[in-house]
Structure 1
Amino acid sequence: MRGVSPVLEVPFHPDESVDLDGFSDVVAHVLGTGVTSVMFPGFASEFHKLADDERRSLRDRLLDQTRARTDVAAIVAVQDHATAVAVRRAVEAVEAGTDAINLLPPYLLGPSPAAVRAHVRAVLSAVAPAPVVLQYAPAQTGTSLDAGTIASIASDHPNLAAVKVESTPPGALIAALARTTPALPSFVGYAGLQLPDALRRGAIGVQPGCSFTELYVRFWRLWQAGDEPAALSLHQRMLPYLSYWMQSVELIVAAEKLISLRRGLIRSATCRAPAHALDDGEIQLVDAFLQEFGPELASSVA
């Protein structure tokens, strides 16, 4: 689990029913960009709008396409608030063939710090030795964890393999985690807004959405090759769009789905209600993005 690890979107038909075959197409496309891991379901997957049976069916579609592959890891996310439910879902995912668990700590109704730690430890224990990525998204959840707390948990649970850092800014926590004993690797989220700084501070990759994965892969390869000026130039071109879309989760989900539709990756840009309705200016921004980056996306190869 390094480099670009996209969070998979879920296509819906215009009537808001899940497009399972469309999801399989999304998985196939993203795996074809050269990534070494993918994650589902996340905020970009509209996980909070999926029924349990839908999540299971989509998870199984993903694992059907990754289970036999040794070159890519499937990371299945667990966001359940109840510890017992989170444990059960995580164990089921591992038994189904997932390579790693992404764990979002509970946050509804303000659980105590001790309760959050107990929840995280319970899931880690239940799925050991399967690796777990701990997701830290304070802007979306309000859950606060510091590097010392996370390191303390990791010392007792070696399968805590990485942390997805979505604080703003993320750099300080990424650097602090890299200084713990043992060092804890980090992915940076939040569409990679602070990606260059995160990598300089020790991050091992980025978990963005999936509608233009190729641009993140290109950035990563340039960075790994030591061509920092070219990588920074690409990131700076992306920033005006990312900065606008990341004003809210629902906004970037809607924008990315429209990008995927325009690219022919999905058949409908439908988001399940309640959702953000892109206005004319926001649609024009998506079209400007595709006009600028379309040739690069079309010419990208794994």
Structure 2
Amino acid sequence: MTATPALADRATAVVNGVSPVLEVPFSDSGDIDVDGFRRVVRYVLGTGVTSVMFPGFASEFHKLTEGEREVLTGVLLDETSRRPDVSAIVAVQDHATRLAVARAAAAVKAGADMVNLLPPHFLSPSRRAIVAHVSAVLDAIAPTPLVLQYAPAETGTSLDGATIAAIAREHPNLALIKVESSPPGALIAELAAGDPPLAAVEGYAGVQLPDAYRRGAVGSQPGCSFTEIYVEIWRRFATGDEAGGDELHRRVLPYISYWMLDTELIVAAEKLISAKRGLFASAYCREPAHRLDPEEVRMVDRFLAEFSDLLPSLA
């Protein structure tokens, strides 16, 4: 089987341009800030994006209880259900196939437009086991489209274009690949030229966004604290202003390339950005976490000053 044009069109209609991964605000005591999360959702949806994803690494998904995750997912789906112009991508990261299947099916039943699947990676499962896991989730949610997340730096999982294409030939609802290898461009181009051709989105904070765009990526999935910058970079490329897109990306690159040296570092930096912009009160990250040192805090301040024209106060 191969992906139908209708499914491919549906998938790229959901993820077309910037599709941020939502962060989770906590109180200073470490409790989830539900009202703050609702403000995060509304802020991101107000930047002109067509979709958002939750929960991801930027959401500290691995530090949430099942109950907290359920509450926050409910907030997201409540907000997107009122907006026919936006879509919700709900992520599944369970290691056990049985649990991943159940969570993915529940997300679709609750109203998710797509499922983002992070393949299992604890204790280095075999490639055959990974393929079986992905296939089981695809079967469970068909015909709902699925985004397969490939994040080798965070997980150590090794996949290649041929393996992914083989899965897609058997499962037409494998609609998009989130490519977070570094650099991502070669795999994006390989997927686009494969049988069947597969669309890709670029992650990893947009460090390689210009190259990914030129190689055919249909979207980018960065964090969400300065969504406006990513939207403007993508807008410039999409409207033919490549020089302008390159110029704005060059300006932001020293910041995001430093922050992406460690996942906990960029989570902490983005939360401080959001707090300083007035989106929520506390920049608290649940332990274990990166604690920004004084120079890293000053770096955030320089970032906000440099891009103040694109990043208004959200208070």
Shift of 1:299: 9.2
SS of 1:133's equivalent?
strand
1:175 partner letter:
A
What residue number does 1:50 align with? 64
Q: Aligned with 2:310: secondary structure?
A: helix
1:264 pairs with 2:278? yes
Structure 1 runs of 4+ aligned residues shifted over 3 Å read none
Pick from 26, 38, 46 the counterpart of residue 12 of structure 1. 26
Unaligned runs of 5+ in 1: none
**Counterparts in 2 of 1:25-174, with a 5 A limit?**
25-174=39-188
Q: Deviations over 1:113-171 (max 9, x none)?
A: 11100000000000000010000000000111100000000011111010000001111
Matched-pair contact (CA < 8 Å) for 2:277–2:313: no
Asked if structure 1 preserves the Cα contact closer than 8 Å seen for 2:233 and 2:249, the reply is yes
Counterpart residue type for residue 298 of structure 1: P
Question: Offset at 1:220?
Answer: 1.0
- Which residue of structure 2 lines up, in the alignment, with residue 180 of structure 1? 194
Residue deviations 1:220-272 (CA, integer Å, cap 9, x gap) = 11111101111110000000001110000000000000000010011110000
Q: Residue 235 of structure 1 corresponds to which residue in structure 2?
A: 249
Candidates 282, 294, 302, aligned match of 1:280:
294
Q: Match of 2:216?
A: 202
- Amino acid in structure 1 at the alignment position of 2:294: D
Distance (whole Å) between structure 2 residues aligned to residue 105 and residue 70 of structure 1: 30
CA contact under 8 A between 1:67 and 1:98: conserved in structure 2? no
- Listed one character per residue, the Cα deviations across residues 150-204 of structure 1 (whole Å, up to 9, x for unaligned) are 0000011111010000001111100100001221000000001000000111100
Compute the displacement of 1:298 (Å). Answer: 2.0
Contact 1:165 1:188 (8 Å CA) reproduced: yes
1:213 equivalent in structure 2: 227
Q: State the SS of the aligned residue for 1:98.
A: coil
Q: Which segments of 5 or more consecutive residues in structure 2 lack a partner in the other structure?
A: 1-14
Q: Residues of 2 paired with 1:160 and 1:174: CA distance?
A: 15
Separation of aligned partners in 1, 2:181 and 2:109? 31
Give me the whole-angstrom Cα distance separating, in 1, the residues matched to 2:234 and 2:303: 20
Which amino acid counterpart does residue 189 of structure 1 have in structure 2? G
Alpha-carbon distance in 2 for matches of 1:182, 1:112? 24
| C-alpha distance after superposition, 1:72-129 (max 9, x if no partner) | 1100000000000000000000000000000000000111111100000000000000
Q: What is the CA–CA distance in structure 2 between the aligned matches of 1:297 and 1:196, rounded to whole Å?
A: 21
Match of 1:294 in 2: 308
Letter in 2 for 1:154: A
What percentage of aligned pairs have identical amino acids?
Answer: 65
Contact in 1 for aligned 2:51/2:86 (Cα 8 Å)? yes
CA distance in 2 between partners of 1:15 and 1:299 (Å): 25
**Alignment: residue pair count:** 300
What is the rounded CA distance, in whole Å, between the counterparts of 1:299 and 1:224 in structure 2? 27
Is 268-277 or 66-75 further displaced after alignment? 66-75
CA contact (8 A) 1:2 1:205 kept: yes
How many Å separate the matches in 1 of 2:176 and 2:139?
16
- RMSD over aligned Cα atoms: 1.0
TM-score (normalizing by structure 1): 0.98
CA contact (8 A) 2:52 2:88 kept: yes
Give the match's secondary structure for 2:84: coil
For the 8 Å contact 2:278–2:313, the answer to whether it is kept is no
